[in-house]
Amino acid sequence: MAVKKIRPSADKTREKILKYALKLFAQKGYSATTVRDIAKAAKVNLNLIFHHFKSKRMLWIAVGELISQRYSELYLNKNMEFTDLRVLIEEFLYTRFKFYKENPEVYRLIRWKNIEPDESLLFTNSIYLKFFKPILLEFQIKGEIRSDIDVDFAALFMSSSLMGALDKKSFIYQHSNISEREQEYIEFISDEIYKILKA
């Protein structure tokens, strides 16, 4: 049976729909965004969205996969062989912070998804499961992370520590030298997380 090829124009249409879906979901959240809104913003026929994604929920899932793909690309060319726990923590924090700064719509979308009433809309954290959890577990097995610490909680704590710093109303953005203040904050939370995790 021959495999049906997707035409380049169909790929471009799909990418365009995803781009505007991400933008609108980030602005208004899942519940307040309609497929009609996305079709209008992307300047495509409403039926094309259903052709490519079948439903609003499937479009939301595709947006989550797009975000995961973008984030994964940050690690594909990196050496993930860490021998120092402190370096691992800093890498996790700097990479995530940089990603959110360069993709502000992703940060907004994450804020929205956390207040959606439908819990089935939450994205799975495949990047954490694929890249960081195995490394954290390896450090724990080697005795460098305390054995009484749940590495899932540790990763959640690291991620959550960044969210406040990304809020434009935070004290960091009231400073005259924002990039210097961001750097100081990440170094501070790296130090504190290291102290908590270190065996």
Structural domain boundaries in the chain: 8-68, 78-199
Q: How far apart are CA 68 and CA 89, in angstroms?
A: 20
Six-digit token pair at 39?
Answer: 């079709």
pTM for the model: 0.71
Angle between helices 35-42 and 8-32 (to 10 degrees): 140
Residue 193 has pLDDT above 80, yes or no: yes
Q: How far apart are CA 127 and CA 71, in angstroms?
A: 7
Q: What superfamily in CATH does domain 8-68 come from?
A: Homeodomain-like (1.10.10.60)
Rounded average pLDDT over 41-67: 88
* Residue 41 contacts residue 123 (beta carbons within 8 Å): no
- pLDDT tens-digit map of 86-138: 888 888 888 888 888 888 888 787 777 666 665 555 555 566 666 778 888 88
Segment among 12-26, 62-76, 80-94, 168-182 with least mean pLDDT: 168-182
